[in-house]
Amino acid sequence: MNKKKFSLGEFLRGNSVPIMFILICAFCIPISGFSPTYLLNEIITRLGRNAFLILSLLIPIMAGMGLNFGMTLGAMAGEIALILVSDWQIWGIPGVVLAMIISIPFSVALGLLCGKILNMAKGREMVTSYIISYFINGVYQLVVLYMMGPIIPIAHSSIKLPRGYGIRNTVSLLNMRQCLDDLLAIRVSGVKIPVLTLIIIALMCLAIVWFRKTKLGQDMRAVGQDMDVARDAGIQVERTRIISIVISTVLAGFGMIIYLQNMGNLSTYSSHSQIGMFCIAALLVGGASVDKASIGNVFLGVILFHLMFIVAPSAGAKITGDSMIGEYFRVFVSYGVITVALVMYETKKRRAKQSLGRQLEEDQRKGEKA
């Protein structure tokens, strides 16, 4: 009896974030007044749209590099690839596949850069990767806003700014809109299921499971837990860390392309800016922490986080009469959940250090009694 109670407390504490979100959703869904079919439809759409992006975060966590705020780099690589592909007017599935292929060299180059910089800033990977994403955003704007046109040939005026160079604020991807999602899509009582996209995501999950079993995956886990021990055992620590970031960046690039083909248009200068934050928040909502994340966390996270995202504005509007409240609320919750997760991670690190003293006192007291 006693033992069961203890494990329940442990369970609640270990999963406090998902539980909190279930409560928020349970509170908001009835108020928002959305029909279950609508919600289910939305959730499945968003699952297909976001899951791949979030999966790209798993590998750096495994390698002990924390939440990869630098996944934005991959997103930018994906966007550049999409801009080029849409300029070449290659649409539909071939366009998506080609964009993915083109994104690879960009992602790899950015991933290498990011990995190298993070190796110079061990112990504060997260804040550094976060600043890198801002820095590269500047470079991205330089390329897209000024170099596309004069240096990188852009043929179609439909995506060019009227001034003759630079890319418009939005690039329409109408001709490849949901082409992955629609292929093989089925409808089950009004809910559209994008089978192909889900298959791709499932394959990705299998790939990650397989990757964990490889030598490289094992090395990453070792590096993630203790760099010095891994180095003593002859594992190339720096190289392994760079590889993990490169893989993450490439996957994020693919993920961004999947995301954008679903959206159907590309906001050239803002699509990527929030994507990292939302993906990380979703992963954390799924119960992941800075040093531990599973595929299950990804899916639970997508569902809960986006459920909140859908229902919060209208629930907020119903309660306060102002639709903006809900909008702000969901932004607040996204940031809040990241803050809470970071704080929990740091306090856990500290608590682990403090346990031995209690043990000594205990021993001595026992000795006294005996």
Partner 1 sequence: MSESVKRSGVQGKLRSFVQSFGLPRLIIAGFLLLLFIAAPMVGSDLGVQLTNTINRFSWNAILVLAMVPMVHSGCGLNFGLPLGIISGLLGATLSMEFGFSGPMSFVMAIVISTPFAILLGGGYGWLLNRIKGGEMMIATYVGFSSVSFMCMMWLLLPYHSPNMVWGLAGKGLRTTISVEGYYDKVLSSFLQIQIGTLVIPTGALLFFALLAFAMWAFLLTKTGTAMTAVGSNPTFARAAGIDIDRIRMLSVVMSTWLAAVGILVYEQGFGFVQLYMAPFNMALPAVSAILIGGATVNKATIMNVIIGTFLFQGIVTMTPTVMNNMIHMDMSEVIRIIVSNGMILYALTRKSEASR
Partner 2 sequence: MDDRKAPLLEMKNIRKDFFGNQVLEDINFTLGEGKVLGLVGENGAGKSTLMKILFGMDVIRETGGYSGDILLSGEKVSFQTPFEALAAGIGMVHQEFSLIPGFTATENILLNREPKKHSVLSDVFGDRLDTLNRDAMKKKAGDAIEKMGVMIDGSMVISDMPVGHKQFTEIARELSKDQLKLLILDEPTAVLTEHEAGALLDSIRSMAERGISVIFITHRLQEILNVCDQVVVMRDGRVVQDVAARDTNVQEITHWMVGRDVQLSARTFRELPSQETVMSIERLWVDMPGETVRDVTLDVKKGEILGIGGLAGQGKLGIPNGIMGLYEAGGRVTFEGKEIPLNQPRRCLDASLAFVSEDRRGVGLLLDESLEWNVAFPAMQIQNKFLKKYLGGLIKWRDEKAIEEVTKKYIDELQIRCTSSRQKARELSGGNQQKICLAKTFAMEPRFLFVSEPTRGIDVGAKALVLDALKRFNRESGVTIVMISSELEELRQICDRIAIVSGGSIAGILPASASSEQLGELMVSQVK
Report in angstroms how near the CB of residue 205 gets to partner 2 at its nearest. Answer: 17
For residues 124-163, which are near partner 1 according to CB under 8 A? 124, 126-128, 130-132, 134-135, 137-139, 141-142, 145-146
Instruction: Give exposure, 7-25, as e/b (b: 16+ Cβ within 10 Å).
Output: eeeeeeeeeebbebbbebb
Residue 269 partner contact from partner 1, partner 2, none using kind-dependent CB cut-offs of 5 to 8 Å:
none
120: contact with partner 2 by CB under 8 A? no
Task: List the one residue from 85, 144, 230, 280 that touches partner 2 (CB under 8 A).
Answer: 230
Rounded-to-integer distance, Cα 246 and Cα 255, Å: 14
Burial class from Cβ neighbours inside 10 Å (0-12, 13-18, 19+) for residue 111 reads buried
345: contact with partner 1 by CB under 8 A? yes
The kind and range of the H/E element at 191 are strand 191-193
HSE-CB of 363 using CA atoms within 13 angstroms: 5
The 82-121 contact track toward partner 1, x by CB under 8 A, reads -----------------------------------x--xx
Q: Which stretch binds partner 2 (CB under 8 A): 229-237, 305-313, 316-324, 332-340?
A: 229-237
195: contact with partner 2 by CB under 8 A? no
C-beta contacts of 121-124 below 8 A and 24+ residues apart: 122/227
The set of residues, in sequence order, having a beta carbon less than 8 Å from that of 285 and lying 6+ positions away, is: 17, 18, 21, 300, 301, 304, 305, 308, 337
20: contact with partner 1 by CB under 8 A? no
Task: List the one residue from 357, 366, 369, 370 that touches partner 2 (CB under 8 A).
Answer: 357
The kind and range of the H/E element at 217 are helix 215-225
Residue 362 partner contact from partner 1, partner 2, none using kind-dependent CB cut-offs of 5 to 8 Å:
none
366: contact with partner 2 by CB under 8 A? no
Beta bridge partners of 172: 265
Report in angstroms how near the CB of residue 113 gets to partner 2 at its nearest. Answer: 21
Residue 320 partner contact from partner 2, partner 1, none using kind-dependent CB cut-offs of 5 to 8 Å:
partner 1
If you write DSSP's letter for every residue of 66-129 in order, what string do you get? -S-TTHHHHHHHHHHHHHHHHHTT--HHHHHHHHHHHHHHHHHHHHHHHHHHHHHTTT-HHHHH
The 279-318 contact track toward partner 1, x by CB under 8 A, reads ----------------------------------------
Whether the Cβ atoms of residue 302 and residue 47 lie closer than 8 Å to each other: yes
222: contact with partner 2 by CB under 8 A? yes
Binding site for partner 1 (CB under 8 A): 117, 120-124, 126-128, 130-132, 134-135, 137-139, 141-142, 145-146, 320, 322, 324-325, 328-329, 331-332, 334-336, 338-339, 342-343, 345-347, 349-350
Binding site for partner 2 (CB under 8 A): 210, 213-216, 218-219, 221-222, 225-226, 228-230, 232-235, 354, 356-357, 360-361, 363-364, 367
